A and B are shown apart, each in its own frame.
Chain A
Amino acid sequence: MAFNHKHLLGIQSLSAQDIRTILDTAESLSEISSREVKKVPILRGKTIINLFYEASTRTRSSFELAAKRLSADISNFSKATSAVVKGETLKDTILNLEAMNIDAIIMRHASSGSPHFVSSFCSSHVINAGDGTHEHPTQALLDALTIQQEKQTFKDLKVVIVGDILHSRVARSDLYLLKKLGAKVVLVGPPSLVPPAFKKYGAQIDYNFDRAIEDADVVMMLRIQLERQKRIYFPSLSEYHELFSLTPQRFSRAKHDAIIMHPGPINRDVEISTDMADSAKSVILKQVENGIAVRMAVLYLLLGGKEREITD
């Protein structure tokens, strides 16, 4: 059950056992958030930096609450409030933060691989809170915790992920994680947004949502980034909506006990209809709740206890 990692950079560098350890720890820690005094002392005296170069409310506050519930001190830095606007490089920013004797850096950055870059020269723990179009490991872990609570097992589960796969770090991390735990993953969207290269990582690809959703256990809808598309990848939102949005008619083709997931923020009536997002089958808010437990687990496993031998 040893978890011998110094950083959490992505799902790809975790084993199936590592993932189970994180999920089990998250299950154990989830009870703390329902207490009246939502705090345990394990990370007392640890200093964590929440370094968000990209806008985020959900992930940033989720990490912040997770750290606080473990008694760590956490400071928020955003691009707007940092010296980046004055032209400071990422490396200099990190070296300056490290000079303040911090223990961990949680970072979100628009450049893929930037947490890897930071981990190559800094001595703190680095936790990837989303890097470019690469990975978003804690999102995949909270998705997995939610699926585990609803479905108990991952083996042979059919998970359909729908939307802009090409630009989605969530889709990548979810794909890698679900494959490691034995689920079947089908990626759905227009061909311009679903590169066939993902077959190499075990995904099936289908451009027909109506066919792909048949017998699905989990339907995961991704946000369509309106600002990003500019009509290069698909001609119009209405055509996209017609082909790839989740409606009650489409959902009726999935298994009767299928669940609906979405990493948020949702575009109501774009990729998912309002009645679907708010339906009893939707576990979207459960995902948000699990986000705190998963992030507490990650922080505990990386920073908790004394210094351990690190193998990576």
Chain B
Amino acid sequence: MEDKVKAKIMDSRKIKRSFHRMTHEIIERNRDLNNLVIVGVRTRGVFIAHRIQGLIQEFEGIEIPVGVLDITLYRDDFSDPTEQHIVKKTEIDFSIDKRDVLLVDDVLFTGRTIRAAMDSLIDLGRPKSIQLLVFIDRGHRELPIRADYVGKFLPTSRRERVKLQMKEIDNKDEVLIIEPAGTKQE
């Protein structure tokens, strides 16, 4: 049995609107945009980071640096124990010391990825602050973590998967709820 798309929650227009709203919230909150840096968590967090960077540039004319974070070496939740987790490069070619770091990921679920990302950031320097942006918050937190900017709150069942598709790698923008193969309908 294959994974099944249960519902399409957002299309590209809705997604674009969310990006605009979140960008305005970021600008509003960070009065000193020149102190802001963006760090995207691989893989889709990086594309989200670049879109936010583009919108800030468009609205404010300021180019915010973007870095790439790979958190494999900090994870505690290797979901599939038979799979080799491939380590990719962390590419942050600016200092994060005393900067306001906007950490970006696609889906916030248990919070463990963000815990790993924060540990990793703190090994890289001492930021003035860390803010969190996620495109989807689907609940079910296992750690005391809350996002500062959220594209959409999406209550789901634990079993389901939420997928943000982005045209940079998935050819189109949409948010899907997926019923994984092999699970019973309730």
Contact = CB atoms under 8 A, between A and B. Distances in A.
**Physical contact A–B (CB less than 8 Å):** yes
| Chain A residues touching B, majority SS | loop
Contacts of A36: 125
A4 B70 CA distance: 22
Contacts of B91: 31
Contact of B123 (A21, A29, A35): A35
Contact of B84 (A1, A29, A31, A32): A1
B106 to A, nearest CB: 21
A135 B44 CA distance: 41
| Chain B residues touching A, majority SS | loop
Contacts of A1: 84, 86
A305 interface: yes
Contacts of B87: 25, 28-29, 297, 300
Contacts of A37: 123-124
A21 B85 CA distance: 11
Contacts of A113: none
Contact of B70 (A28, A35, A309): A28
A70 B72 CA distance: 12
A306 B84 contact: no
B119 A308 contact: no
A307 B81 contact: yes
Interface string A25-60: 101110110011101111000000000000000000
B74 interface: yes
A243 interface: no
Interface in B122-181: 123-125
A298 to B, nearest CB: 12
B43 interface: no
A1 B87 CA distance: 11
Contacts of B74: 40-42
Interface in B5-52: none
Contacts of A27: 89
Contact of A28 (B78, B88, B119, B120): B88
B81 A308 contact: yes
Given A37-B124, A308-B81, A31 B90 contact: yes
Contacts of A28: 70, 87-90
Given A35-B123, A305-B78, A307-B81, A41 B73 contact: yes
Interface string A286-312: 000000000001001100111111000
B70 A308 contact: no
A100 interface: no
A2 to B, nearest CB: 5
B79 to A, nearest CB: 10
Contact of A308 (B82, B90, B123): B82
A236 B87 CA distance: 49
Given A35-B123, A37-B124, A41-B73, A24 B86 contact: yes
B133 to A, nearest CB: 24
A62 to B, nearest CB: 19
Contacts of B78: 305-306
Q: Which of the listed residues A2, A40, A307 has the most CB atoms from chain B within 10 Å of its own CB?
A: A40
A309 B78 CA distance: 14
Contacts of B73: 29, 32, 40-42, 70, 300, 304
Interface string A88-116: 00000000000000000000000000000
Interface in A148-190: none
The 3 closest A-B pairs by CB, nearest first: A40-B73, A42-B73, A306-B81
Interface of A: 1-4, 21, 24-25, 27-29, 31-32, 35-37, 39-42, 70, 297, 300-301, 304-309
18 contacts: A1-B84, A2-B83, A3-B84, A21-B84, A28-B90, A29-B87, A35-B123, A36-B125, A39-B123, A40-B73, A40-B120, A41-B74, A42-B72, A300-B87, A301-B84, A304-B73, A307-B81, A308-B81
Interface of B: 70, 72-74, 78, 81-91, 119-120, 123-125
Given A305-B85, A308-B84, 9 more contacts: A1-B86, A21-B86, A28-B70, A28-B89, A36-B125, A305-B81, A307-B81, A308-B81, A308-B82
